[in-house]
Amino acid sequence: MKVPTLKFGNKLVDTPIVQGGMAVKVSTSELAVAVAEQGGVGIIGGTGLSMEELRQQVREARDATRGLLGVNIMVAAREFKEAVMVALKEKVDVIVAGAGFSRDVFTICREWKTPVMTMVSSVKVARLAERLGAAAVIVEGCDAGGHLGTEEKTAALMPAICEAVSIPVIAAGGFADGEDIGRMLELGAAGVQLGTRFLLSEECTVHKNFKNLLLNAKASDLVRIISPVGLPANAINTPLVQKHLAGDPVIRSTDCNRCLKHCNHSFCILKALLAASQDGDYERGLFFTGKRYTDIKSVEPVKKIFADLLQGARDYLSQPSGPVPGAGSQPTPG
């Protein structure tokens, strides 16, 4: 069975695969371009970049591909609106808003005629996003990396949200292979977002220590924390995380640059994420990851990852007991 295309707003991509916009120099232009070139939606993580860095990242990506490119920006970031405007002025194809909910982004993007995807974890928020003008919602469950809005798994959230809205629903959180994509399409998803699978790609520019840590870590090495943002998150249990969980005051942030709208200063999350992505520093770094990292056995080129994902999805959807044709499609408003 053929894997469906993905349409949201006035955009159409060849494959129903959205790359997770992992913040603080994890999802950079190189990764976004590689995904876009394979017919997916390539996403640059906009949070943790200066406005000039973000501008340069989008321009580099735009020069390198004609595929669909977006920018993911945390609503919790103090410069959220500024980053949205930079991305819009650089003519990205989609804005993805997560780690909070913004009403203003819908108005801004409507003026720029640019679709918005927003992260949701409940029927109530999904309906609100549709009413405000979202082109799609990304349903993220508790198995995702980074900041989370629910303790429910994505598969448990999908049926009710797909029933509640008429815009495309994209499943996210704890997916690693093509069978995952097939299962979510069967549940009514129009597409699937993957983050950690693409972090462990050759084109992802994070420090090699980050990749090696995930490849060698056991499932028991993952812990749930409450980050300085005030949201739960999944992270590898490193020395920094151990001190945070123990309430050790030695790691408290003392020279805050006010990167977040609200922060409890338990530690500087920006410095910790940079220590992970740029320095690969096991002692000082914060290594966010989705729960399925133990199922990813090697770092591979994005082209091969796509081929494997799509073949796995086709195999799943072609099973005699699989879904009826068209089960994964979502109607899109005219």
CATH of the domain at 194: 3.20.20.70
Considering the domain architecture, whether residues 234 and 131 belong to the same structural domain is answered as no
45 and 69 inside one domain: yes
CA 121 to each of CA 246, 247, 254, 288: distance values in angstroms, whole numbers, following the listed order: 29, 29, 33, 19
Q: Please determine, for residue 25, whether its predicted confidence score (pLDDT) is greater than 50.
A: yes
Q: Which residues touch 99 (CB under 8 Å, ≥6 apart)? A: 47, 74, 75, 76, 77, 119, 146, 147, 229, 231
Whole-angstrom Cα distance, residue 121 to residue 257? 30
188 with 73, same domain: the answer is yes
Percent of the chain with pLDDT over 90: 81
Given a cut of 80, whether residue 332 has pLDDT beyond it is no
Greater confidence (264 vs 20) lies with 20
Q: Is residue 329 part of a domain?
A: no
116 and 172 housed in the same domain: yes
Same domain, 32 and 165: yes
**Domain check: are 178 and 273 in the same one?**
no
Furthest-apart CA pair in the chain: how many Å? 60
Q: Does residue 118 or residue 331 have the better pLDDT?
A: 118
Query: H/E/C letters for each residue in 277-291?
Result: HCCCCCCCCCCECCH
Say what the pLDDT of residue 331 is.
Answer: 43
- Label residue 147 by pLDDT band (50, 70, 90): confident
| Region of poorest pLDDT, from 13-27, 106-120, 214-228, 251-265 | 251-265
Is 199 contained in some domain? yes
Buried b (16+ CB within 10 A) or exposed e, 36-68: bbbbbbbbbbbbbbeeeebbebbebbbebbebb
Q: Is residue 183 part of a domain?
A: yes
Domain that holds residue 191: 6-204+297-317
Across-strand partners of 116?
95
Residue 10 and residue 119 share a domain = yes
For residue 330, is pLDDT > 90? no
Question: Does one domain contain both 200 and 215?
Answer: no
Does residue 76 surpass a pLDDT of 90?
Answer: no
How far is the C-alpha of 267 from the C-alpha of 248, rounded, in Å? 10
Residue 1 lies in a domain: no
Give pLDDT tens digits for 185-222.
999 999 999 999 999 999 999 999 999 999 999 999 99
Say yes or no: 135 and 259 in one domain: no
Q: Is 207 exposed, middle or buried (0-12, 13-18, 19+ CB in 10 A)?
A: middle
Q: Has residue 334 been placed in a domain?
A: no
Residue 325 in domain: no
Written as six digits, the tokens of 24 are: 């603080």
Give the alpha-carbon dihedral of 71, 74, 79, 80, to 10 degrees: 70
66-83: average pLDDT: 93
pLDDT attached to residue 54: 97
The pLDDT of residue 322 is 46
Q: CB under 8 Å to 113, separation ≥6 — which residues?
A: none
Q: What is the mean pLDDT of residues 234-258?
A: 90
Residue 321: pLDDT band with limits 50, 70, 90: low
Rounded to an integer, the average pLDDT of 90-116 is 94
Q: Which of 35-49, 105-119, 154-168, 224-238 has the lowest mean pLDDT?
A: 224-238
- 254 pLDDT more than 50: yes
Is 313 found in the same domain as 273? no
Statement: residue 248 has pLDDT above 50: yes
DSSP state of 4: P
Using one digit for the tens of pLDDT, what is the confidence trace for 34-50? 999 999 999 999 999 99
Q: Report the 10 Å Cβ neighbour count for 81.
A: 15
14 shares its domain with 135: yes
Residue 173 lies inside a defined structural domain of this protein = yes
Q: Put the strands of the sheet holding 222-226 in their side by side order.
A: 146-147, 232-236, 222-226
Distance (Å, rounded) from C-alpha 240 to C-alpha 287?
10
Q: Could you say which DSSP state residue 309 is in?
A: H
Average pLDDT score, the chain: 92
Q: Which long-range contacts link 148-157 to residues 24+ away (Cβ below 8 Å)?
A: 148/121, 148/231, 148/232, 148/233, 148/234, 149/119, 149/120, 149/121, 149/122, 149/231, 150/121, 150/122, 152/121, 154/184, 155/183, 155/184, 155/187, 157/121, 157/122
Q: How many domains does the chain have?
A: 2
Q: Is residue 322 one of the residues assigned to a domain?
A: no
Mean pLDDT on 128-153: 93
Per-residue pLDDT tens for 157-178?
999 999 999 999 999 999 999 9
Cβ–Cβ under 8 Å, residues 54 and 87: yes
Mean pLDDT of 285-303: 96
Same domain, 56 and 176: yes
Q: What is the mean pLDDT of residues 222-236?
A: 91
